[in-house]
Structure 1
């Protein structure tokens, strides 16, 4: 706790995670604490126990680090506190060594063939086995009782069917899982890990429920022993504050997704219920190459996105500061110094976005049961890119919050909620969204949104009563055609056709629904001499909208966001952006050329406008971005005083234009800029 009684993790923090190796058991705690302090860290993450104990454990199945001769954890805690640092104890309770496995193999994961999930002499613990349910809690009891840790972090909790080499090892079929699943659902474990097995939907929920129960046991154990110790979680179980993680995975399909830091930060805000969150930036490229450092420019792009979306700072090193590739260290150090100077302004802010992007773990988990499920991930990220590149500030709205008692007040913050092909939806979600529309909100949905329930079962009708269509009649795939844009439809003065590739979902329009854009029959595309329209009769609308209560629902029965993810053509972005902008006038505009992200946050009557520069990212390369000049910021409610926190300069706004915006010329934006807008003192 701070002197005022506020937990330290609710104040600005900059964590350095030293993910220790066994050979680091000989380190000098005093020297490491000084290095972390000089690096402008406010806290350090340090190994305590789990796979190996970094202290003299008395538990016989808890393997000791053979390089340790004294009480390294205790010495480090004392050294950290002397330097004014908080210490986060790192526990990895997800695995045990051969010492534990040989004594109790039934505690650990075994696939259907009875093979243990072994990797480099460690064994994956079963969530439902004796290691996770008992012995790990004994380790935790010993560590928390001995050391007054400021917080505790738990690595790789839950089900881990994929090992460090990316190999899928299969679901656990141990006796513990079999009996727990039978007790919960009255049937055997699924034979296959896909929706062709009717039991698989139950298994998805089984994993979620048992993982949450395990996280709750960890939380309760710590709080019984030491209530002041904060629990740093991954957002999927009980915790006091959240630690998410950013790293590349080279096995992911190219191109590299550069928006992972902002995506994780938005998710942390959406599910956090006001808890602080950070997105640890891994110094290394990927698990296989933990000493191949990311460029400093990638770290800076990550940090820019994180602070733009309300996250705290966490930097993750394998080992200590003596990295074989030191290039990122000094630039990261300079950023931490800047954050230390401005942390009070950047922390505990609230998003001022008026647009919500619907984030659904249910739609992700059960996508495989739907017709267009293979597109789900790219639909979501296409919508993300679309909003970001249209410079529309947005938050995530999480399906995990839709049964909150105050959900109506949460949703009322938004003029528009965008649901990208959110096929699977519970009745409770649908009811909350319908109430939001009745109260005056606008929902924009694409594709199969609401066509399935929250277990992937096809509904007889769309989930939303407010939907402009009913009883989807046909899902057509593989279409290669166009939508014709009418002369009076939106603002497309130079574009009359928008291409469609893939899915179109026919449905019966409800009474009073209004249609825009016309789906054309499939056209010839070769040879060129035959490429002209022969039949322009409409085969269906591209946009269907309907009023419901004080609001409306707009449905695009196709996947423009998926096409934007793949092709990046502006007409798909502008179609959705214009539908959003017809609802409300944005409070902040950003003009000028360049690949930038715009977010707006508020704190104590002040406004912070973040501009993040993506010009250094090209495919999978991250280099120093060229400074972007000529950007102008338009403000509807211009404050009296504007300060560029990175450039360190005061800015002034011009007179209001015909639309009511006052414009500020921004200084050149390097990695990012933060504009602080506040009322001048009277």
Structure 2
């Protein structure tokens, strides 16, 4: 896989046979295997592994609980006797009597009821073919190819991807009943394995394509160049178009063989991995799966979880507690689990494979519970577009706040906001998004007017002086304080002057609800907008002006201003809340519960509560529905630590209630049946996780 992140492939042209995952036409006459829960195991093979014992690997997969084997098939090296002159046969195939690893694996797996999917990697070619076909290769702004360990990177605009890839797929399909395909690292290779940024490709194919895409604009050199955002959109569209062609080709040749790629493929791919030097976002897997399932709930997601620490350290196994979070977060949000190792299990018996097998078998044994598992939360959190990196801290702070206050929520990418059925949510949260795409702004306004609740933080829905969203309770932006100096020492008053109490809406703090009595003042961190309220808007959290913060003798003099840090108003049948400051970033960077509660109280007040519980904030609640009924995952996050996951501490028995909860609840991990009394269920002690099922 690529060094740190999995590639996002953007939109692709829908295949003639319908949307990804949809059963139409002749496909409707037979079940598509990937529409049922499945479990994958990937052996990412070195060329010296071509002689592996197929039966030994299959024995391991069966015991592990996997029913699908992702096997290295072709591309950089062909693990079958290819006859294509632009492909390279693995020389170590000579170790096999048949000379054909793929053929041996497919035949043996078929006898065992295991599916084989083909891992293809067209991202690089050897020196000989690069010299013969320079038009296939990545070229930097200086005209040089990108060479790494003797292999030359290929450009998706060139004919190796656009033409030759399909010839390889046809050769494999002509010979073997492969059950699906995954194309590794299908990208423009801006970043190599050493994480060096190599800039934008300037090959002749890219130059011609870009000239047609953006007439009059020159290709940028790299991410700091003018026009880079335009090039990123261009590159996404090139990859999207190619992805669509691959999917269409497979649908014609072998409809029962899905394509695993981006969010418009048959199966959406997410790689859960670690990386040295990358700050750990503990919720990365859950966020990614939720974003995919919220956008297209019926399309399967595969979370391929990396069993080693980082790409340069492929011999070092991942910490078991860390790896467990990949799989638990994945299945809780409705993804299919996959474990990815280098070589074979015999060669690399990583320490994390024990817990990986336990969780994989759990998923296998609860087939009905995970069949069709999709999102069922009533709060929607919008994830900022990749071109708004400054909003990420805001998003993460609000994400943490909702998790800790036990508000179940789904995530949707900002670029998909107009394509999601917003009406199924009671509250939509916009985290410091700035201006929205026109279609997204129209969708949010229509949702609010129809009865929904919108909670906007920071500058969401604001462009310069203009308030873009009609639902927001302000007429214009008067000023913006968006530097450290401009907000330093700026505070908001959470309670009337002279009143001491909890910062939340409830007013009085108590030990049981985790609130802390404070002095009624919270700091602003990041940015604060001065806005002009609409007539009739309810105002609160009035600002206290900045004052000296140096020697204590001079630390006084804050003036009470009329600038609101919270505005509320009705809009049509709905209501909107505007928090024109970066409350999420403040919580992410400072961690005051008062900041967290100010935000979450507005979400609950606007959209209504969904779950009540005595669980501590270290437990995440994920709400879903599947063929079995209502499914509630309780994830023990007490092991979330600095740059790692430690062993979670056991959580004592407590209670949980959910509107409409009656009868009896199954706790799958403990094996208990829990009666519902007066709308509440008494929970068992919580270990790594628990799954509660209210059968339909």
When normalised by structure 1's length, the TM-score is 0.91
The answer to which of 581-590 and 116-125 deviates more is 581-590
Task: Describe the superposition over 1:222-276 as per-residue Cα deviations: whole angstroms up to 9, x where unpaired.
Answer: 22222221111132xx4111221100122223xx211111111111202335101
Q: Within 1, Cα distance between the matches of 2:570 and 2:615? A: 35
Aligned to 1:109: 138
Deviations 1:301-322 (A, max 9, x none): 2222222211111111111102
- Check whether the contact 1:271–1:400 (CA below 8 A) recurs between aligned residues: no
1:188-229 CA-partner distances (Å, limit 9, x unpaired): 4344545762x3332122112111111112212222222221
Is the Cα–Cα contact under 8 Å of residues 11 and 347 in structure 1 kept in the other structure?
yes
Shift of the 492–115 alpha-carbon distance from structure 1 to 2, 3 Å rule, reads farther
Q: Secondary structure at the match of 2:155?
A: coil
SS of the residue aligned with 2:561? coil
- Residue number among 298, 321, 327 corresponding to 1:303 in the alignment: 327
Do residues 280 (structure 1) and 291 (structure 2) align? no
Name the SS of the counterpart of 1:583 in structure 2.
Answer: helix
**Residue 202 in structure 1 maps to residue 227 in structure 2:** no
* 1:434 equivalent in structure 2: 445
1:639-673 per-residue CA deviation (whole Å, 9 max, x = no partner) reads 2111110011111233x3xxxxx222211111100
- How far apart, CA to CA, are the structure 2 residues paired with 1:126 and 1:472? 45
**Which one of the candidate residues 33, 53, 65 is aligned to 1:40?**
65
2:34·2:300 contact (CA, 8 Å) conserved in 1?
yes
- Pairwise mapping of residues 368-387 of structure 1 onto structure 2 (< 5 A)? 375-387=390-402
Corresponding residue pairs, total: 648
Write the deviation string for residues 535-563 of structure 1: whole angstroms up to 9, x where unpaired: 33215110122221111221111101011
Tell me which residue corresponds to 1:420.
431
Cα RMSD, aligned residues only:
2.1
Aligned to 2:103: 74
Q: Which has the higher contact order (CA 8 A, sep 6+)?
A: 2
Report what 1:249 is aligned to: 275
- In 2, the alpha carbon distance for the partners of 1:160 and 1:124 equals 7
The within-5 A match list for 1:166-565 is 166-194=195-223, 197=226, 199-235=227-263, 238-253=264-279, 256-324=280-348, 326-361=350-385, 364-365=386-387, 367=388, 375-404=390-419, 407=420, 410-452=421-463, 461-476=466-481, 477-478=483-484, 479-480=487-488, 481-487=490-496, 490-493=505-508, 494-495=517-518, 496-532=520-556, 534-538=557-561, 540-565=563-588
Is the contact made by 1:145 and 1:226 (CA closer than 8 Å) also made in structure 2? Answer: no
State the shift of 1:277 in Å: 0.6
Alpha-carbon distance change, 233 to 34 in structure 1, aligned in 2, over 3 angstroms: same
Task: Note closer, same or farther for the CA distance 1:426–1:3 as it changes in structure 2 (3 Å cut).
Answer: closer
Q: Distance in 1 between matches of 2:269 and 2:370?
A: 18
Match of 2:89 among 42, 51, 64: 64
5+ unaligned residues in a row in structure 2: which ranges?
1-22, 509-516
Q: Secondary structure of 2:441's partner?
A: helix
**Secondary structure of the residue that 2:117 maps to in structure 1?**
strand
1:65-122: CA deviation from partner (whole Å, max 9, x where unpaired) = 1111311111111111111111111111222222321111121111101121111122
Q: Secondary structure at the match of 1:149?
A: coil
- Give distance in 1, aligned partners of 2:223 and 2:148: 25
Q: Secondary structure at the match of 1:48?
A: strand
Q: Runs ≥4 in structure 1, deviation > 4 angstroms?
A: 1-4
**Partner of 1:455 in structure 2?**
none
- Residue 125 (structure 1) shift: 1.3
Question: Contact 1:383–1:561 at 8 Å: present in 2 too?
Answer: yes
The answer to whether the aligner puts 1:577 opposite 2:600 as a matched pair is yes
Q: Does 1:608 align with 2:637?
A: no
CA gap 1:292/1:539 in 2 versus in 1, 3 angstroms:
farther
**Cα offset for 1:187?**
2.1
Choose from 661, 664, 669 the match for 2:681.
664
The equivalent of 2:13 in structure 1 is none
Q: Distance in 1 between matches of 2:527 and 2:359?
A: 45
TM-score by length of 2: 0.89
